[in-house]
Amino acid sequence: MQKPKRILILGPESTGKSTLAAALAAYFQEPWVPEVAREYLEKLARTYAYEDLLQIGKQQMQLEDELAGGAKSYLFCDTDLRVIQVWSQHRYGKVDPWVLEEIARRTYDLILLCATDLPWQADPFREHPELEMRQQFFEVYQQLTEASGFPCILVSGDTAQRLNTAIQAVGSLKKE
């Protein structure tokens, strides 16, 4: 059986990643991997700690692998361990070695990098509403994307424009 193409949707907070992942999944009638961090943090009765990031990352990768089994052609991933890497480095000045090893081991067929041109939407789990800070995070994600060596497309504009750009990029992936 052919492995599905994994499409990673990456970017700072409030850049439309979840919306895009869900829309792509609906369009292509394929599964998408929601962000585990939100559910994890909702259940946490305290502020998250360094150790929580590793648990979130492991759960995210476990869910991604489980959902890949039900995908025919594509699996849309609303985030990956790069988010854990960026938050861990930003907040704690360190990253668990497992996270870095797993990033190096995993592959994606395409990264859709979400620009910061959507308006901020307040959310109890979002920490940086300032456009300047979101842009700094975007630049970090852009550097990590370039370093990955995976094909990457920048998605920007309103929700419809982002979806159209993403559909074209996904549709252009070569069938193996």
Q: pLDDT value at position 40?
A: 92
DSSP state of 171: H
Q: How far apart are CA 44 and CA 42, in angstroms?
A: 6
pTM over 0.75: yes
Question: Which domains does the chain carry?
Answer: 5-171 (3.40.50.300)
Residue 32 bridge partners (DSSP): 76
| Residue in this structure with the two tokens 């994890």, named with its chain if needed | 40
Q: pLDDT value at position 143?
A: 96
Q: How far apart are CA 24 and CA 29, in angstroms?
A: 8
Q: pLDDT value at position 134?
A: 84
Cα separation of the two ends of the chain:
11
| Cβ atoms 153, 169 nearer than 8 A | yes
Q: pLDDT value at position 122?
A: 61
Query: Residues 119, 147, 72, 63: is their CA dihedral positive or negative?
Result: negative
Could you say which residues of the chain have pLDDT below 70? 1-2, 120-131, 174-176
Q: pLDDT value at position 175?
A: 55
b/e 88-111 (16+ beta carbons within 10 angstroms → b):
beeeeeebbeebeebbeebebbbb
Q: How far apart are CA 102 and CA 116, in angstroms?
A: 27
